[in-house]
Structure 1
Amino acid sequence: MWFSVLLTACARKNMTEFWKEHSVEATVEEMMLDSSAQQISNHEVPEILSILPKLGGMKVLELGAGIGRYTKHLVKVARHVTAVDFMQKFLDKNKEDNGHYSNVDFLQADVTCLQFPDNRFDLIFSNWLFMYLSDTELESLTQRMLRWLQPNGYLFFRESCFHQSGDTKRSFNPTKYRTPADYNHLLMSVVQEYPMGGEQCFGFEIAMTKSVQTYIKMKKNRNQLCWLLQKVERNQSDNQGFETFQQFLDSRQYSRQGILRYEKIFGTGYVSTGGPHTTKEFVDMLNLQPGQRVLDVGCGIGGGDFYMAKAFKVEVLGMDLSSNMVEIAVERALQESIPLVQFEVGDATKRLFPDASFDVVYSRDTILHIKDKLALFKQFHSWLKPGGKVLISDYCCGEKPWSPIFEEYVQKRGYILCTPQEYGKLLEEAGFQQVHAEDRTAQFVQVLKEELQRFEDIRDEFIEEFLEEDYNDIIQGWNEKLKRCELGDQRWGLFYAEHK
C-alpha cells in the first residue's frame, strides 16, 4: 500500500514539474506543445465544438481548461461553466480573458483530488487530460465523473493516442499514450451501482469516437482521437450478458477474426451478402454528384464508402458501433489513401449532427439491431438536406406467427425485425416522401446460392487461412438462412425515400 502511494506521489510531482516547464508564458503554443498551435487551434476548435450536444441550459464542467481555448466558447452558450486546471498560470490567463462572464467559476485543482456533488453537471468536457493520468487515477476519476453527471449527461474527451503529436522539445515526457481500445476498456468498465443494488446500474456508452480531422488534414496524423460518451442505465440482460451492446457485437458477432472471415467470403472491404455487386446496384440509384456528403450508418469495414468516394467524388462519413469494424476500416483507409472517406465508432441512436448535414443517408443490413426505428428515421430526416435521399437494405421478417426455430434464432441474436411493409410505413411516419419499400428476398436467395457455390470453390484456400470448423460453421449457417427464407420467416428488403 505504502509503495503504491509513493509511486502516485512521485507521478504527480513529475507531472507538476513537466507543466511548470511548459507554462512559463501561458501561451497556446506551450499548452498544445506545438509551434503551429495557433494555426491548428483555429481549425480544431470549431471542429470539436460541432461534436458537442446543444449546450443551451447545460451546466458544464471543463477539466484541464488551460488558458481557455474552449472556455470562451462554452460560456457563451452554456448556463454555467466550471473551469478547472492543474496549473495556476494557465488558469490565471483563462480568468484574465474570460473572467468578465458571470456564468463561469475558475478552480485550480488536481483532478485526482477533485470532488463535486452527485448529478451536478450535464456535460463534462476534457481536452488532453486523461493521458496525464495513470490507469488507476483514470479509473478513479471515471467513477467520480459518473456520479457528477446527471443521468443521460455527456462526457466529451480528446487524447493523443499511440504517440506524441506536438513538435515541442521535452526534457522528459510523463505522458501515457494509450490506444483507443485502452480508453474504451477503462471508461466502459466502470459502473455506478444503484444504492439498493440489483442488476441495473449506470455506465458510459459510446455515442461517438473519431479522429480529429484537423490533425489528419494539417499534419497527416490520425492519432488525435475524441469521444462523446453518455451516462445511461445499464441492464446486462438487455445485451446478452455483456455490459454494453457494443461489447456484445465486438465479442460475439463481429470479432476481428469473424469480420476477416466475412471479408474472405464477400470480397475485399465487404462483410455482407452481395458485396460489391449489390453495392454498385444500390449506389447507382442515388445519382450521386461530386462534393455531396454521405453518411453510411453501419459502414462495416468501408468497401461501399471507398466505392462511393472513388466513383463519384463524394465525401463519406462511415459510422459503425463495432470498434473492430472501424479499426479495420481505418486500416483500409490508410491503404486506400482516400481523404474523402472518414470513419468513426458511433451509435446512430445517440449521435448528434446539425440539421441538413448530409445529402444521402445510406445503410446496409444494420438497422435490424435497433429497437426504436421510428426515432432513428426521424433523425435521418433531420440530418438530410431538402431533396436528400435515404437508401437502406435490411434483414426483415414475414408476418407472424413465425416458426419456433425462427423465434429462437431472433431472440438469440437480439434482432428487432419488421416486415418490409412496416419498414415503409415507419419511413413515411418519419416524414419521408416517395417511399419505395421492396421485398427483395428472391434476389437475396439467388445471391446467397451464388455465394455459397463460390465459397465451396475456395474451400481449400479458406481453410488454409482460417479453420475447417469455420468453413463448416459458415456452410451450416448459410443453409439455415436459405431455409428460413424458404419458410417465409426471414425476408430482405430494399428501401428508398426522399426528403422534401
Structure 2
Amino acid sequence: ELLDSAALDKFICGALRSLRVDGVLIVRQDLSKLNDPKKVAMLTDYFDVFRLEQGNENVGFHFYAVNEVQESVYVSAPKLAGLYLDPSQEAFSQANKWSCFNPVQDFLDRTQYTDTGIFAYEWIFGDNFISPGGYKQNLAILRRFGPMKTGQTMLDIGVGIGGGARQAARIAKKVGFVDIEVENMTPRFKEILLEERQRVEQNKEEFLEKFSQKEYDSLVNGWNSKLQFIADDNHNWNFFAAIKPQ
C-alpha cells in the first residue's frame, strides 16, 4: 500500500540487495481505486530519496521515469504507474535515452549533504554553516540592518547566481519600496573562497585525520569551480536592501 512505509522500506531494501549493478527495477502500481493523484507523487519521491546504508556508503536508485500506462487486455484497463530505476552510477550515463533526469536534491543528499559532507563543511565554515563566509560573513550582513527588535520581520531570499535577487529587486521597486540599495559583494566572496581554500590546503594533514581524501578533493574542486565561475562572470553575490514607506 502507498501509505505503508514499513512495507515499502522492506520491499526497497530487498530490491537493493537483490539487484546487480546496472539492474533495473520496474514497479507497477494499480491505481484504479486511487482517487488522490498526490499519493502517486509521494511514492515516486519515496523511491527517489530512499537510501540504504551498506558499510560507509549510501546505496539507492537513480530515478528514470513514471508513466501512466494501460493494463493488459485481460482486465478492464485500470491505470498503472511504472517506475524505472537503476542503482548503478554507470547506467545513468544513458539517461538521455530515457528522457530522465538526476534530481539536484538527490545528488546533494548523496554527496555534499551526507553527515560526513556536512561535518567537513562545518570544519571549514563553523558550526551550523555550510556555505562560504560562514558565521562571520553572515553576521556582518545582519548588522547592516541595525539592532533587531521584537516583532520585526525579515525577508531572506536565498539565491545562486543572482537571478532571483535581481528579480526581487525589480519586484520590490514595483510594489513601492524606496531607497533600494544594491551592492555587488562578489569581490568579497572571492576573497572568502581564496582564504578558505588556502586554510584547508595549509591544514590538509589535520583535515585528513578527520575526513577522507574524497571530502578534501570535493571541497577544493568546489572552490576552484566557483572561482572560475567568478572569473567568467557567471557567479555573483549581490546584496539588496530596500525600505517600504509607511
Preserved contact between residue 181 and residue 242 of structure 2 (Cα < 8 Å): yes
Equivalent position of 2:102 in the other structure: 241
User: Which structure 2 segments of 5+ residues have no match?
Assistant: 12-28, 52-62, 72-80, 84-97
Q: CA deviation at 1:268?
A: 1.3
Please state if 1:474 is matched with 2:240.
no
SS at match of 1:194: strand
Mapped partners of 1:286, 1:273: distance in 2: 21
Among 238, 257, 274, the residue aligned to 2:116? 257
Equivalent position of 2:159 in the other structure: 367
Q: CA deviation at 1:280?
A: 0.8
Please state if 1:195 is matched with 2:53.
no
Among 208, 211, 231, the residue aligned to 1:486? 231
Among 270, 275, 279, the residue aligned to 2:138? 279
Q: 1:70-219 maps to which residues of 2 (within 5 A)? A: 134-135=6-7, 147-149=34-36, 185=50, 193-195=67-69
Preserved contact between residue 274 and residue 447 of structure 1 (Cα < 8 Å): yes
Mapped partners of 1:138, 1:479: distance in 2: 42
Amino acid corresponding to residue 135 of structure 1 in structure 2: A
- TM value normalised by structure 2: 0.57
Preserved contact between residue 432 and residue 497 of structure 1 (Cα < 8 Å): no
Q: 1:154 to 1:134 in 2, by over 3 A?
A: closer
Equivalent position of 2:125 in the other structure: 266
Preserved contact between residue 444 and residue 492 of structure 1 (Cα < 8 Å): yes
Higher strand share: 1
User: Which structure 1 segments of 5+ residues have no match?
Assistant: 1-111, 113-129, 156-180, 204-235, 294-358, 369-394, 397-417
Mapped partners of 2:173, 2:131: distance in 1: 27
Q: CA deviation at 1:237?
A: 5.6
Preserved contact between residue 439 and residue 492 of structure 1 (Cα < 8 Å): yes
Mapped partners of 1:441, 1:472: distance in 2: 24
Percentage identity across paired residues of the two chains? 21
Amino acid corresponding to residue 147 of structure 1 in structure 2: L
Q: 1:1-20 maps to which residues of 2 (within 5 A)? A: none
Among 164, 170, 183, the residue aligned to 1:425? 170
Aligned residues: 187
Mapped partners of 1:267, 1:459: distance in 2: 17
SS at match of 2:193: helix
Q: 1:134 to 1:457 in 2, by over 3 A?
A: closer
Q: CA deviation at 1:433?
A: 1.2
Amino acid corresponding to residue 255 of structure 1 in structure 2: T
Preserved contact between residue 440 and residue 493 of structure 1 (Cα < 8 Å): yes
- TM value normalised by structure 1: 0.31
Q: CA deviation at 1:440?
A: 1.0
Q: 1:138 to 1:475 in 2, by over 3 A?
A: closer
Q: CA deviation at 1:432?
A: 5.9
Mapped partners of 1:445, 1:488: distance in 2: 12
Amino acid corresponding to residue 194 of structure 1 in structure 2: E
Mapped partners of 2:115, 2:204: distance in 1: 21
Mapped partners of 2:192, 2:50: distance in 1: 38
Preserved contact between residue 424 and residue 436 of structure 1 (Cα < 8 Å): no
Mapped partners of 2:9, 2:200: distance in 1: 50
SS at match of 2:69: coil
